[in-house]
Amino acid sequence: MSLPRKFSIPEPILSIGLLALTIILTYGALIPNLGFYRDDWYYLWAGQAEGLSGIIRLFQIDRPLIGWIYALDYILLPNTPLAWQLLGLLERFIGVLGFFWLLRLLWPDRKVESTIMSLLFAVYPGYLQQPNATTFSNLLIAVAAVMFSFVFTVKAVQSKRMIGRVGFTVLSVLLALLYLGIFEVMIGLEAVRFLIVWLQRRELTWAAWRISLKRTLLAALPYLLMALSFLFWRIFIFKSARHATNVDFLFSEYAAQQWRAPLTIFIETFKDMIETAIFAWVVPFYQFTVRDNYRDLGSGFLLGALVVIPAYFYIRSLRHEMDIEPQTQHKEFLWMGVLILFVTLLPVDAAGRNVMFSDQWDRYTLHAAIGVSFFVTGFLFYALRGVTRWILLLGLIGMSVVTQFHSAAYYRDFWKSTSNLWWQMSWRAPQIKPETMLFAIVPGASFAEGYEIYGPANMIYYPGNGIQIGADVLNAATATKIIRQDPKSHYDRGVLVEDHYENPLFGIFPTPNSCLHLLDGKKVELAGYVEDSLIANVADYSKIDRVDVSARPAILPANIFGPEPPRGWCYYYQKISLARQQGNWQEAAKLADESLGKDLTPEDVSEWMPILETYATLGKIKEAKRAAAIIRSDDDARRFLCIQLQKGPAYPAPYDYDTVNALLCGSN
């Protein structure tokens, strides 16, 4: 089938252009605003502190190949968020291009269907980690390797010459070892490879099925041997030191569950199949848009329209193919989709993982999205007719683009909060003493692991000197350790981390409009009690003297954290607070005068406290009364701060505790 004559561009080029445009619009809009996240930080810290050997060593405990890939990235890429984001975009496109090529090889006469499958795979909304480009770069490499490995398998089967069969088989096996070395849980894709070979070798008559099976087994033998060899190495030779990827731990859990284990695995697999194939199209969309701001909502829908419109004109140009009656191949797409979903998700659940649209657990859907694309396309063409088919297809594509944009918007805001944390930390704390245990809470997001805090902290304050500052996330368990003043230690990917819970320092943003508050347990400055009750329980343990106020100010790596933000109120708040801690009241007053002269004032009334104390200590009673009046206008803030003042003077003389207490907490 060919395009109408009005199109001079060859149809394959048109399809590839549509896929490229879709990838760029779906994932590229917010790239300049994205940064580093989660597991990125121990890679970044290892690279800065120990170089290539440190990066390679990080991954020797579970997936050694990843360490070598990251080391190569470290050599070739500028260590900037933009470089990693562009690499992730390229990797995503290469994977989609490989999938498109595979489909055209398998069904050369199904142009519309193959392009639609590729579009659905490109925008699949169940996988939401594209903005987390550094951590999941290797997963994108693995998916691209799978696609081209499958392509070379088809080429090997179709080749008429021995040299072609051998050459393509070798390339295919090498790429298979690459993706398995990156993410062993993708082993189920080898069953998909067997299915692909069968599609090439099958006979259409039922009587010839044994011949088809024999021919398939012979053609697939190199890949079966490769997969079995990899499994033998992974299960019996290589021993992972990580609990999550240790096969012995997994088998011991199975033994404890006995017959319940296989039943649980199959039930969870079928649940994940439904979530991956159906819920993925609506649940993340709802989660992102239900409380969204209008600006992001409008931007997302605009991008969705910019993708849907060219997709509409493409399928309209091939309307005679789009509107065909259901064919046998469409039914084939349906059952292939179900089968691919099962074999790709079964190893995930067997490994004790499952699909959830939160906390990065959606990463297990990406390789299974191959099956989703088959299933949805088969459903569209086999079960639907006419305009209904068009509407559902374009609706799914548009909603997926909106979902992916909102995923990027979440990571945009997360990076903004993270970079803001470290810039304000550098303004407030020239140096943080060794053996400090740092806790940080940012607005709009949350850190999941301590290395998300100690990674950047050590890169800023102790570049190239190992881990001098520990960190953790605040939860019930860590709060208990703080209260007990209980020092511990642990290993993160083989790196020893000392946890000095007896030396905690808390940095929090009490409200979305607050600056960073480094808490002083002698006088906690907040505008009332915060929603996180754990903060109230442990704030008094925060040791502000873990800040070395006499040290030379640390310098943030601009390539990682970007340029210094404008010096607004938060800059002055941090510098006034630092001068107050140094006992340099004249400098604090100078900074206060300068900020007020620029009409830079806080939105969090508790941030008037250092100004009040500065002016009161220097005898500037008129200015001190003005600051006190602003704080007193918020009764919750006044009550909270007055309770804190009851602890006694937090600073040495000449700090005028009595005047501060009288102005803020007195009856007049």
Q: What is the mean pLDDT of the chain?
A: 91
Lookup result for tokens 């350790």: 481
HSE, side-chain direction, 13 A CA sphere, residue 505:
26
pLDDT at 429 over 90: yes
- Rounded CA separation 516/525 (Å): 11
CA distances to 27, 468, 640 from 561, in Å: 21, 20, 35
Q: Which of 423, 425, 448, 453 is nearest to 437 (CA)?
A: 453
Give the model's pLDDT for residue 72.
94
pLDDT at 521 over 60: yes
Extended strands (E) in 531-662: none
Give the model's pLDDT for residue 101.
98
Mean of the pLDDT values across residues 96-113? 95
- Rounded CA separation 175/154 (Å): 14
pLDDT at 524 over 90: yes
Phi-psi region of 51 (alpha: psi -120 to 50; beta: other; left: phi over 0): left
Lookup result for tokens 């240790």: 246
Torsion angle of alpha carbons 524, 527, 532, 538, nearest 10°?
Answer: 10
Q: Which of 98-102, 129-133, 166-170, 197-201 has the lowest mean pLDDT?
A: 197-201
Cα torsion angle, 243, 248, 251, 252, sign: negative
Give the model's pLDDT for residue 1.
42
19 near 93, Cβ under 8 Å?
A: yes
- Rounded CA separation 462/468 (Å): 7
pLDDT at 7 over 90: no
Give the model's pLDDT for residue 353.
85
The secondary structure of residue 554, as a DSSP letter, is: P
For residue range 357-386, what is the model confidence (pLDDT) as tens digits? Answer: 887 788 999 999 999 999 999 999 998 888
pLDDT at 261 over 80: no
For the chain, helix, strand, coil in percent to 5 are 70, 5, 30
For residue range 590-638, what is the model confidence (pLDDT) as tens digits? Answer: 999 999 999 999 999 999 999 999 999 999 999 999 999 999 999 999 9
pLDDT at 235 over 70: yes
Lookup result for tokens 């795979």: 121
- Rounded CA separation 37/447 (Å): 9
Task: Give 465: exposed, middle or buried? Use CB within 10 Å, 0-12, 13-18, 19+.
Answer: exposed
Residue 245 pLDDT grade (very low, low, confident, very high; cuts 50, 70, 90): low
Where do the structural domains in the chain lie, given as residue ranges?
Answer: 15-412, 429-561, 566-668
Lookup result for tokens 């548009």: 398
Cα three-residue angle 232-170-368, rounded to 5 degrees:
65
For residue range 277-306, what is the model confidence (pLDDT) as tens digits? Answer: 999 999 999 999 998 899 999 999 999 999
**Could you tell me the two tokens for 650?**
């937090």
Mean of the pLDDT values across residues 216-232? 92
Helix spans in 129-161 (H): 133-158
Amino acid making up residue 666: G
For residue range 541-562, what is the model confidence (pLDDT) as tens digits? Answer: 999 999 999 999 999 998 999 9
- β partners of residue 438: 471, 505
Cα three-residue angle 199-201-204, rounded to 5 degrees:
75
Give the model's pLDDT for residue 291.
84
Q: Which residue would you say has higher pLDDT here, 262 or 13?
A: 13
**Could you tell me the two tokens for 471?**
């960190």
For residue range 440-479, what is the model confidence (pLDDT) as tens digits? Answer: 999 888 899 999 999 999 999 999 888 999 999 999 999 9
pLDDT at 34 over 50: yes
What DSSP line would sit under 529-569, residue for residue?
A: --S-HHHHHHGGG--GGGB-TTSPPP---HHHH-SPPP--H
Mean of the pLDDT values across residues 71-79? 92
Contacts by 643-651, CB closer than 8 A, 24 or more apart: 644/523, 644/524, 644/525, 645/523, 647/522, 647/523, 648/522, 650/520, 650/522, 650/523, 651/580, 651/581, 651/583, 651/613
- Rounded CA separation 665/191 (Å): 73
Mean of the pLDDT values across residues 145-151? 98
Give the model's pLDDT for residue 82.
97
Give the model's pLDDT for residue 244.
63
Share of the chain above pLDDT 90, in %: 75
Q: Which of 20-29, 112-121, 328-337 has the lowest mean pLDDT?
A: 328-337
Phi-psi region of 331 (alpha: psi -120 to 50; beta: other; left: phi over 0): alpha
HSE, side-chain direction, 13 A CA sphere, residue 520:
22
Give the pairing type, strands 488-492 and 495-499: antiparallel
Cα three-residue angle 501-518-643, rounded to 5 degrees:
95
Q: Which of 134-143, 410-419, 488-497 has the lowest mean pLDDT?
A: 488-497
Give the model's pLDDT for residue 246.
64
pTM above 0.85, yes or no: yes
CATH topology of domain 566-668: 1.25.40
Give the model's pLDDT for residue 206.
54
Give the model's pLDDT for residue 263.
87
Helix (H, G, I), strand (E, B) or coil at 327: coil
Query: Which residues, other chains included, contact 273 with Cβ-Cβ below 8 Å and sequence gap of 6+?
Result: 338, 341, 342, 345
Q: What are phi and psi of 265, to 5 degrees?
A: -60, -45
Taking residue 531's Cβ as centre, other Cβ atoms within 10 Å add up to 8
The count of residues in the chain is: 668
